Amino acid sequence: MADALPLAGVTVLDLSTVGPASRCSHILADYGATVVKVGAPPSRGGVQIEPPFFSYGAGRGTKRARIDLKAPAGKAAFLALAAGADVVIESFRPGVADRLGIGYEAVRAVSPAIVYCSTSGYGQTGPYAAWAGHDVNYLALGGYLACSTPRADGGPPLPGATVADGAGGGMHAALAILAALFRRQARGAGAYLDVAVAEGVLALMALHVDEHLATGAAPGPGSNVLTGRYACYDSYQARDGKWLAVGAIEAAFFANLCRALDREDLIPHQMDDARQDEIRAAFRAAFRARDRDDWVAELGPRDTCVAPAYAVGELAADPHLRARRVFAEARHPTRGRFRQLAPVLAGSDRTTTSRDVPDTGATDTVALLRAAGLAADEIERLRQDGVVA
């Protein structure tokens, strides 16, 4: 199956260990690319973060090379690998890759058609380019937090997932790389991609941002149907203390829900601002009469846009998700067998239910450098000098 995946034959060098760039390379690996994670030798790793063994798909579909990029011989070894690569991804602070001698121009000199993707929080240029940041910072700058229901103290909530890293950064970078590879196939030209996570958040916020830019409106909590203005798009607690999500925006779905709750009288008032407190109170009272899963079993098939608000432990047992093969088994050399998310994006391989994943302590450096054309004695000298491991 791996040879049939859309990125089979594409080689990616990923200089990151965590964050948006690693999210991106994980996506590319699931689409069949050969991803080589390039990190420092253990003795020269410094403060380099090593993620938990299970994260980023437990490294499925990836190989590892340990190279000291600060050593001239290490830089040369990396460029030898880059000469045979299709994509390079890095997530250093702006300017660092160039100072190391492995930036876009250096790589393009050995691989003219390279697709080189730099991921950073705020982009390679601009007043904030050198700022440090994490997911919550990019969500804050992009207006995401301000449009979320506030905490009890009025402050913006922390999101339940790393939306900026995953979508604003990782998916953003993967999409840009795929577009660049498509253009390269048609025109033979590589590309330099400046992926700013904060700008990816703006793309996710486009409905709200464009509303403001076009009309001067100030979107925020309770300003429109998607941010809690109407009772038809909200969450409600059931008798057992568990919660349901209701997204009955369309009039027909709202009417179906009202009929199921025996409140047909509310149907004409869906978008009546003066009646929202009344509708919410009616929905709260109705949903408290039964347990969550009972409501889901009844309302799910009836075009009401109702779904269970799962805890993570619950969703892992959901029959629909299991039927869709979104979970798989991993086989790790030292950790043994454990469950993980399968490749879930459309077009990836869900048919393989058990996958071997690598030991992050092992490396493929010698084999990779040999394939790149380095002689055995040269590789051994690099290993003896601690430049590679």
Helix (H, G, I), strand (E, B) or coil at 236: strand
Burial class (CB in 10 A: 0-12, 13-18, 19+), 243: middle
Long-range Cβ pairs for the range 274-283 (8 Å, 24+): 276/229, 276/230, 276/231, 279/231, 279/232, 280/231, 280/234, 283/231, 283/234, 283/236, 283/246
Residue 189's contacts (CB-CB under 8 Å, 6 or more residues apart) are 113, 183
> What are the residue numbers of the active site?
134, 165
Distance CA 322, CA 131 (A): 42
- CA angle, corner 124, sides to 199 and 15, nearest 5? 95
Distance (Å, rounded) from C-alpha 180 to C-alpha 195? 13
Q: Which two tokens stand for residue 129?
A: 């380019």
CA 310 to chain centre: 20
